[in-house]
Amino acid sequence: MKKEIVVIVGSGMMGSALAFPSRENGHTVRLVGTHLDKEIIDECRKTGKHPKFSTPFPSGVEYYQIEELDDALKNADMVIGGVSSFGVDWFADYVLPRIPKGVPVLTVTKGLIDLQDGSLISYPEYWEQKCKEKGIAVDLNAVGGPCTSYELVAHDQTVVSFCGRNIDTLKHLKEVMQTSYYHINITTDVIGIETAVALKNGYALAVALTIGVNQKEYGIDSELHYNSQAAVFGQATKEMTKLLSLRGADTIDNRAVGFGDLYVTVYGGRTRLVGILLGRGLDIDQAQKELSGVTLESLVVARRVARAIRIKAGKGELDLNDFPLLMHVDDILTKKVKVDIPWDEFTK
């Protein structure tokens, strides 16, 4: 396999984690921090280790500040977008126009944008629209599936999906990135994969509510109660399936990716933490203050999807009663109602 230059823009945890398989495959890896990542890049240059990871980067990873982006992109063969959902517009306006023509982009950013008519579009679809408006031709691809950054760094066995418009591009990206522990499916179903993995964030928060509720009732150090978690998990899969159908993307493969990602997100990460705090009785402002400095993308997607559903329901295109779990999560986030999981609604 030809050794390539892989440029990662955004030194958050997931973008940075992808430096491990790509560098371990022998490629040149350039990790570029955003304007918010200056301290991270300084730390990486000093220690060779990301401040959030216990394992150092593979030897030879190169580090760049955002002001050095153009230098980092010289002769690039592939660009990985590692920004959070809060950097979607910045990535579109600042990074995509700088990427050399013909260089494929693989993004890790998960989320959906709701339009005024109640439609939902994924970030790759949004970026494609933005690029078209600017007259920019970019080969956009995305990665989705059950994968936490710290477990990827630890070489835990992981299976993900790369999605994009061009199957030949996807085959090439898979060749660059796949390792003995990082296994990659490829598909041209961008809408399905990206919808499934975005939805999981809001619903993982819902499952985590039950953990906090039980801690509030039985004590923080009490044993976990799995019945309630499983019940909410099951309702989440029902609602996610309906939303995939709404986007014309309800397939076994998409469900598998979405439900697997839901499982991973429930059992680790930031979404679990905020759900537990809400379940214990904090309102969303108090929970966010408690988790100061933590990026909470789950809140964004839950609010956007709920807003879209309400618009669609108002037009008679779907029934709000099919989404009792998400509607309750939305009320918790937007109206600050107390957690009171609508159990009886799940069996109607």
Catalytic (active-site) positions = 200
Which H, E and C letters describe 89-150, residue by residue? HHHHHHHHHHCCCCCCEEECCCCEEECCCCCEEEHHHHHHHHHHHHCCCCCEEEEECCCCHH
Say how many C-beta atoms besides its own lie within 10 A of residue 224's C-beta: 10
Which tokens in the block code for residue 244? 């995939």
Residue 215 phi/psi, 5° resolution?
A: -65, -35
DSSP codes of every residue in 37-87: -HHHHHHHHHHSS-TT-SSPPPTT-EEE-GGGHHHHTTT-SEEEE---GGG
Asked whether the beta carbons of 279 and 208 are under 8 A apart, the reply is yes
Q: Which of 61, 78, 72 is nearest to 26 (CA)?
A: 61
Triad 184, 259, 17: Cα angle to 5°: 45
> What are the b/e assignments for 174-199, b being 16+ CB within 10 Å?
eebbeeebbebbbbebbbbbbbbbbb
Which tokens in the block code for residue 290? 């408690």
Asked whether the beta carbons of 36 and 12 are under 8 A apart, the reply is no
- Give the sign of the dihedral formed by CA 245, CA 270, CA 340, CA 343: positive
Rounded Cα distance between 329 and 331, Å, is 5
Which tokens in the block code for residue 97? 């126009």
Rounded Cα distance between 259 and 145, Å, is 9
